[in-house]
Structure 1
């Protein structure tokens, strides 16, 4: 059954204004007034533009050339039942779905994210609000009923973009993911998170809180994948933790091999300093096979005119992170430079392509729509998101790119069948 209860606690879950990890910005009255006036001015300019009173549009409405459906051809249905935790906007769910797995249930505390999944897959069982909260849930009713549990516990406790408080962060829900596995005893599980989880700082946490409780019954593999290795036009590395039950699985899990080459999209040494280059090239950890398909650059993927330069998109920032919600996907100062070279405006993402077309950016660069951001993340246009713009960007930015999830699911399928 689909949960249609209210979700009175959802705001606290992702805003966390009274949580220990939250630190609002300290502004002077003068700084606060500057931000206020800037916001008012931007809003007024947007209203004028949408009413046809702004700058004459200079960019035609784009028609994307990348269809993420092509990156994850649907496989025939199999009998393996999947339980989804921390489902978000459905990145893992969609990838496993295309790989033929049988959806059993999804749990997601934020209503808009759950509605996204429900409106795209009305036949699925999706729980949200209090019923979608995995904390302290009794999972005994699902013991030995599930083949695979997958989920991406909140990454903020480990992300370099946050305070990296790990287990001290009250958003750390990895223990709940572990508890569900121990109670349900699936044949396999897949967890996804930021690669910072493997940093030296969290070595003890990884070994003691994740590996140790599960290693008695599961063989555990931890590996890193790049989204662009599977045709997603974005710099995004993630780690996957895959567990296979020792007494039920005899085949070896084979880490997914890249399907796409993206070496041609990495920045040249002429444009960036050595520190920036080392960060960018860390996304090329796989041996780039030039016989593979070429990953599209973000401009090509979105169907934008050729300006003589294209590259992978910087990592898309979630609209739900930081001290306030935002319609910007800008993640860092270095990302700002990359967007400028791409002549794409990452701030004030528009609700749709028509609005993006009408609202000319200050620097006259191409303004993104939420549909464009979804494609950059590997979601097909057929996957419709629910909620305000910042909420959609939160769902997109927090999701596993579906083609990445698809290839992990395919590799898991070959192990389990």
Structure 2
């Protein structure tokens, strides 16, 4: 590793001091969810300069005029499909809502369920699913993919498992945690679909904040109460690294069964992997981020911080940072998470000022547990958005497998 030059600034840089009164941004935003940063004119000008420098550095790199590449193109050691051996679902079927880039869909498929349909409002995410699985029935876009327009009764009797992750922004810190007051709250639509389809089981997924005391009334009135008369529901919180994904990422799952017998037979998935010294009987060690990506040993490794969706907020970004703590963790691992490149060759050519390894879209997908050949469609920010919003497929696989174990008996 060469001598480190001046540290490159990032999205969460805290070294810019206040100098003068707060001024509004020059960039208009029509998003009702935009939380503008309180910055002085001097601070805004420094950020503008950073942006100009970054654009010029990227242009130079793509034109072959930038600094000579430092790192070799990495060959990952982590292969997510190894965590998801294909199972025989014995003809059981599944329907997907809020499918996104396909994290739940892929995990459920590998667990053995036959695909019935996927619904996703983002056109690019729908194109990802079609490119990944040309034989799937995918409904996407503002018209076909909007679940509010769908009469789900047409699938009654044809679906064994309904699964989906309604948008998490109403319950996440990044989304202001407005709950039912947020127009993106789609849990009522998920509940409606369950009632109309009447599957043998359902899996609903979201950020762990939904399971916090802040939203206990919401969960009780909007999820549990409408369904508890017909379903026996259990709630679990799982950590992705416990199932081999090299990332700190917790998710909450609501698992419901139509009969008490099925519910009593179900057991929550148990960890298959461990990180650090907390070994488990019969479990395997989860890879650290550098090992997973196939990077040289620098004497330190750790799980990746939780990667953020680039679709959070009103503007496009190619950063996966979600906090100052995440920035420090990536720095300790000598990995640069801002300005993620479209592919590994471009990442190698675009040398970070501090000499750290620049991530690419395939690398970020791997961190989230997607296999190398999963074809995210769209610009870099859109691909990162689909990845960051997704359930890690191995985590989805573990939950879906636990449901299959009950339904297939």
Q: Could you state the TM-score of these two structures normalised by the residue count of structure 1?
A: 0.88
The answer for the alignment partner of 2:161 in structure 1 is 148
Tell me how far 1:123 sits from its aligned partner: 0.2
Residue of structure 2 aligned with 1:180, choices 178, 188, 193: 193
The answer for the alignment partner of 1:316 in structure 2 is 307
The answer for the alignment partner of 1:101 in structure 2 is 113
Residue of structure 1 aligned with 2:77, choices 49, 65, 85: 65
Matches within 5 A, 1:389-404: 389-404=380-395
The answer for the alignment partner of 1:40 in structure 2 is 52
Matched, 1:54 2:54: no
Distance 1:369 1:137, change over 3 A: same
Residue of structure 2 aligned with 1:387, choices 378, 389, 400: 378
Q: Is the 8 A contact 1:378 1:403 kept in 2?
A: yes
After superposition, the C-alpha distances for 1:35-75 in whole angstroms (9 at most, x for unaligned) are 33322221111111122211111111100000101011111
Matches within 5 A, 1:157-236: 157-236=170-249
Q: CA RMSD in A?
A: 1.6
After superposition, the C-alpha distances for 1:222-274 in whole angstroms (9 at most, x for unaligned) are 0011100111000001010000002673652110011111134xxxxxxxxxx
The answer for the alignment partner of 2:23 in structure 1 is none
Partner Cα separation in structure 2 for residue 170 and residue 416 of structure 1 = 35
Q: Is the 8 A contact 1:299 1:311 kept in 2?
A: yes
Worse overlay, 79-88 or 130-139: 130-139
Matched, 1:350 2:341: yes
Tell me how far 1:34 sits from its aligned partner: 3.3
Partner Cα separation in structure 2 for residue 215 and residue 237 of structure 1 = 25
Q: Is the 8 A contact 1:249 1:415 kept in 2?
A: yes
Q: Is the 8 A contact 2:33 2:313 kept in 1?
A: no
Partner Cα separation in structure 1 for residue 371 and residue 106 of structure 2 = 10
**SS of alignment partner, residue 228 of structure 1:** helix
Matched, 1:413 2:404: yes
Matched, 1:74 2:82: no
The answer for the alignment partner of 1:9 in structure 2 is none
Partner Cα separation in structure 2 for residue 80 and residue 45 of structure 1 = 52
Worse overlay, 67-76 or 297-306: 67-76
Tell me how far 1:316 sits from its aligned partner: 0.5
Q: Is the 8 A contact 1:107 1:132 kept in 2?
A: yes
After superposition, the C-alpha distances for 1:190-238 in whole angstroms (9 at most, x for unaligned) are 0110111111110100111100000011000100111001110000010
Partner Cα separation in structure 2 for residue 291 and residue 331 of structure 1 = 34
Matches within 5 A, 1:17-36: 18=30, 20-25=32-37, 27=39, 29-36=41-48
**SS of alignment partner, residue 148 of structure 2:** coil
**SS of alignment partner, residue 61 of structure 2:** helix
Q: Is the 8 A contact 2:318 2:380 kept in 1?
A: yes
Partner Cα separation in structure 2 for residue 363 and residue 230 of structure 1 = 33
Query: How many pairs are equivalent?
Result: 379
Partner Cα separation in structure 1 for residue 314 and residue 74 of structure 2 = 32
Q: Which runs of 5+ in 2 are unaligned?
A: 1-28
Worse overlay, 154-163 or 66-75: 154-163
